[in-house]
Structure 1
Amino acid sequence: MDGLIVDWASQVAEVELKDVLSRRWAHSLGVARRAASIGAILGKDADLLMAAALLHDVGYAPRLARTGFHPLDGARFLRDEHGADERLVRLVGNHSFALLEAEERGLREELEAEFPLLEEPLLVDALVYCDMTTTPDGEPTTARDRVAEIVGRYGADSVVGRFIRRAAPEIFAAVERVEAALAVQPR
């Protein structure tokens, strides 16, 4: 990967989100800032993390929504319209424990078949960390506050509320693993 993928991802995300979903765009920019701040723990994959951070919510764009499940819609868009890097597409399709939400929506088999989870735990955890420690407005937060905000926004008994409550222990564990990796990173 090189910086070109980050520039490309920024352009695509901006075109799809900035004017139609400005808050989602602000969140994506905040997630990308988080990615930039932790990229050193990923070495050569730092640019891939940045690109995934910028594009992780692109599937929310109204013109891209087919299933109503943004990780799947976003991954399909990146694969089908842009021929994007397979690892990037799989990160977007599976960001922040999307398989659990896909299960709630009856889409787990579809997501797993098209976009298998990457077997790169630190990279996957890093995207969870960036997404789940950034508010909808792009500001830093804690994972616990972010989960609470999501439950409050969607309601505990909604599909998203059920999913995020199921995913919370995994989210918190991923954030802890990234924080542990950051703690041993040379300064």
Structure 2
Amino acid sequence: MQISAQRAADLAEEHLAVALPRRWRHVQAVGAKSRRLGHLVAPEERDLLVAAAWLHDIGYAPGIVDTGFHALDGARWLLRQGFAPRLAGLVANHSCASYEAAERELAEELAAEFPLEESPTSDVLWYADMTTGPDGQDLSVEERLAEIRLRYGPNDLVSRFWEKAEVPLLLVVDRVRRRMADQPM
């Protein structure tokens, strides 16, 4: 089933606002940023982009967590709720999730269930997520990566996977920045 951006925002609020208020602030800002950047994707993709932005961290929510890998848990939950596989795939693979999956020994499951999409829509989703801080503040991708490493510490799985994922992420961010320069609002 297709989902509107408003329905996605309502679902995210229902599952994150009270239980994880800091995550909720981040998600709200990513949703708003994705809406502002919607002109960078095809018109028929805009609602999907914004819905994926609202739902990209739903896998952190109590009652949705299963494996502890939020991207996979959220995507699987979306499928169980009857939402479109493409939306679930965008959530499953957002922001270099394949690198985290490898650290968690879930790479084969992720790839088998949710093939990686490389598109302007996925690029803008990654950009919105990775240029938004944990409290919803705008950050450069470099500031965001530094913040993540500081918050998790050097030996954490999250910091380890970003060591491997940084270059691919920066390539995506660069593609979006070029689109922004070519298609100003």
TM-score, length-scaled by structure 2: 0.95
Aligned to 2:6: 7
Aligned to 2:54: 54
Aligned to 1:168: 166
Q: What does 1:9-48 align with in structure 2 at a 5 Å threshold? A: 9-43=8-42, 44-48=44-48
**Structure 2 residues without counterparts, runs of 5 or longer:** none
What SS does the corresponding residue of 1:63 show, helix, strand or coil? coil
Amino acid across the alignment from 1:153 = R
What SS does the corresponding residue of 1:46 show, helix, strand or coil? helix
* Counterparts of 1:151 and 1:164, CA distance in 2: 8
Q: Deviations over 1:33-80 (max 9, x none)?
A: 110111001022111110011000000012111100000100011101
* Counterparts of 2:66 and 2:11, CA distance in 1: 18
Q: Deviations over 1:149-176 (max 9, x none)?
A: 1111111221100011211111111111
Aligned to 2:112: 113
**Residue 128 (structure 2) aligned to one of 127, 130, 140:** 130
Question: Once the 2 structures are TM-superposed, how far is the Cα of residue 104 of structure 1 from its aligned partner?
Answer: 0.4
* Counterparts of 1:36 and 1:11, CA distance in 2: 15
Question: Once the 2 structures are TM-superposed, how far is the Cα of residue 121 of structure 1 from its aligned partner?
Answer: 2.3
Aligned length: 184
Aligned to 1:152: 150
* Counterparts of 1:70 and 1:115, CA distance in 2: 14
* Counterparts of 1:15 and 1:142, CA distance in 2: 29
What SS does the corresponding residue of 2:37 show, helix, strand or coil? helix
Amino acid across the alignment from 2:109 = E
What SS does the corresponding residue of 2:4 show, helix, strand or coil? helix
Question: Once the 2 structures are TM-superposed, how far is the Cα of residue 105 of structure 1 from its aligned partner?
Answer: 0.5
Question: Once the 2 structures are TM-superposed, how far is the Cα of residue 186 of structure 1 from its aligned partner?
Answer: 5.1
Q: Note the aligned Cα RMSD (angstroms).
A: 1.4
* Counterparts of 1:62 and 1:151, CA distance in 2: 24
**Residue 178 (structure 1) aligned to one of 176, 179, 184:** 176
Between structures 1 and 2, the one with greater helix share:
1
Q: What does 1:92-107 align with in structure 2 at a 5 Å threshold? A: 92-107=91-106
What SS does the corresponding residue of 2:95 show, helix, strand or coil? coil
Moved >2 Å (runs of 4+): none
Amino acid across the alignment from 1:93 = A
* Counterparts of 2:167 and 2:19, CA distance in 1: 33
1:75 aligns with 2:75: yes
Question: Once the 2 structures are TM-superposed, how far is the Cα of residue 94 of structure 1 from its aligned partner?
Answer: 0.5
Query: Identity of aligned pairs, percent?
Result: 46
Amino acid across the alignment from 2:171 = A
What SS does the corresponding residue of 1:138 show, helix, strand or coil? coil
* Counterparts of 2:165 and 2:153, CA distance in 1: 15
